Amino acid sequence: MNHLEERLRAAFDARAQTYDTSPDAWLRVRERRPRRHRALRLAAAALPVALLAVFVPVLLNGGLGRNTAADADALYQRLMQDRTPAGEQLTVDNPSEGKPLRLWFARAKQGHPELCYVLERAAAEPYGSCSAVTEEADAEAWFAGSTLRDGARDALDWGVALQDVGGITGVAEDGRRVPGTVLRPAGAPYAIWTVTYPARQAMSGIEVSDGAGRAIGTTSRALMEGQEPGELLGAPLDLPAGVTVDAWRTPQETTIRWTRHGTHLFSSTPRLDQPVFATQSENLITGLARGNVARVAFVFAGGTTAEAETRPDPWGLGVTLFAVDDPTRDPADRFATVAYDASGAQLWRGEPESTDPLNNFPPVGEVMTIPGAGDADNPVHAWFANIPMKGGRKDMVTLCKSGGLSAWGGTGPSCSGGALTNPFTAHKLTTYLPEPGTVTYLGVANEKWESVTAVLSDGRRVPAAFLRGAGTPAAIWHVTIPNGDVVVSGFTMKPKDGPLERHPEPDRTCGRRAVSADAGPQPLAAGLSAVVAEPACVAFFEGGQVDTSLPGPLPGEKLSDLLDARQPVQWRRGTATWYGYALPGTARVELVTSNGRTSTVEAVPDRFGQGVTLFGGPVPEGGEFNAGTVIRGFDADGKQLWRN
Strand 449-456, strand 640-643: pairing: unpaired
Among 80, 123, 358, 407, binds another protein (CB under 8 A): 407
Stretch that binds another protein, among 29-37, 69-77, 303-311, 525-533 (CB under 8 A): 29-37
User: How many helices (H) does the chain have, and how many strands (E)?
Assistant: 7, 50
Nearer to another protein, 7 or 607 (CB): 7
Residues in 335-394 at the binding interface with another protein, rule: CB under 8 A? 387-391, 393
Residues in 478-507 at the binding interface with another protein, rule: CB under 8 A? 506
How many angstroms separate the CA atoms of 449 and 391, rounded?
27
Q: For 230, which DSSP code? A: S
Q: For 366, which DSSP code? A: P
Among 73, 82, 88, 253, binds another protein (CB under 8 A): 253
Nearer to another protein, 143 or 340 (CB): 143
The answer to the question of residue 4 lying near another protein (CB under 8 A) is yes
How many angstroms separate the CA atoms of 525 and 520, rounded?
16
Among 107, 261, 311, 427, binds another protein (CB under 8 A): 427
The answer to the question of residue 18 lying near another protein (CB under 8 A) is yes
**# binding residues, another protein (CB under 8 A):** 79
Nearer to another protein, 89 or 134 (CB): 134
Stretch that binds another protein, among 138-146, 294-302, 371-379, 630-638 (CB under 8 A): 138-146
Minimum CB separation of residue 261 from another protein in Å reads 15
Nearer to another protein, 230 or 236 (CB): 230
Residues 6+ apart with CB under 8 A from 209: 165, 166, 167, 168, 169, 215, 216
How many angstroms separate the CA atoms of 388 and 35, rounded?
40
The answer to the question of residue 22 lying near another protein (CB under 8 A) is yes
Nearer to another protein, 135 or 635 (CB): 135
Residues 6+ apart with CB under 8 A from 246: 232, 233, 236, 237, 256, 257, 259
Nearer to another protein, 94 or 570 (CB): 570
Task: Collapse the DSSP code of 224 into the 3-class scheme (helix H, G, I; strand E, B; otherwise coil) and give the result.
Answer: helix
Measure the CA angle with vertex 241, ends 236 and 242; round to 5°: 45
Among 133, 148, 222, 284, binds another protein (CB under 8 A): 222
Closest CA to 99 of 156, 51, 145, 54: 156
The answer to the question of residue 425 lying near another protein (CB under 8 A) is yes
The answer to the question of residue 320 lying near another protein (CB under 8 A) is no
The answer to the question of residue 527 lying near another protein (CB under 8 A) is no
Among 149, 264, 311, 381, binds another protein (CB under 8 A): 264
Nearer to another protein, 208 or 464 (CB): 208
Q: Which residues pair with 349 in a beta bridge?
A: 338
The answer to the question of residue 630 lying near another protein (CB under 8 A) is no
Minimum CB separation of residue 390 from another protein in Å reads 5
Beta strands in 251-304 (DSSP E): 254-260, 263-268, 276-281, 284-290, 295-300
Minimum CB separation of residue 393 from another protein in Å reads 6
What is the C-alpha radius of gyration for the chain, rounded to an integer number of angstroms? 27
Stretch that binds another protein, among 164-172, 289-297, 422-430, 600-608 (CB under 8 A): 422-430
| Core vs surface per residue 193-212: b (16+ CB within 10 A) or e | bbbbbebeebbbbbbbbbee
The answer to the question of residue 409 lying near another protein (CB under 8 A) is yes
Residue 281 CB-density burial (10 A; 0-12 exposed, 13-18 middle, 19+ buried): middle
Minimum CB separation of residue 454 from another protein in Å reads 15
**Half-sphere exposure (Cβ direction) of 85: Cα atoms closer than 13 Å:** 13
The answer to the question of residue 108 lying near another protein (CB under 8 A) is no
The answer to the question of residue 12 lying near another protein (CB under 8 A) is yes
Contact criterion met (CB below 8 Å) for 476 and 442: yes
Contact criterion met (CB below 8 Å) for 292 and 347: yes
Nearer to another protein, 431 or 613 (CB): 431
How many angstroms separate the CA atoms of 360 and 413, rounded?
9
Among 114, 135, 154, 366, binds another protein (CB under 8 A): 135
Closest CA to 621 of 588, 577, 580, 581: 577
Nearer to another protein, 94 or 406 (CB): 406
**Helix, strand, coil percentages for the chain (3-state, nearest 5):** 15, 45, 45
The answer to the question of residue 565 lying near another protein (CB under 8 A) is no
Closest CA to 521 of 535, 541, 550, 537: 541
Minimum CB separation of residue 80 from another protein in Å reads 23
352-358-359-360 Cα dihedral, nearest 10 degrees: 60
Minimum CB separation of residue 77 from another protein in Å reads 26
Residues in 267-286 at the binding interface with another protein, rule: CB under 8 A? 267, 271, 273, 281
Residues in 569-628 at the binding interface with another protein, rule: CB under 8 A? 626-627
Nearer to another protein, 226 or 365 (CB): 226
Stretch that binds another protein, among 221-229, 289-297, 481-489, 632-640 (CB under 8 A): 221-229
Nearer to another protein, 4 or 345 (CB): 4
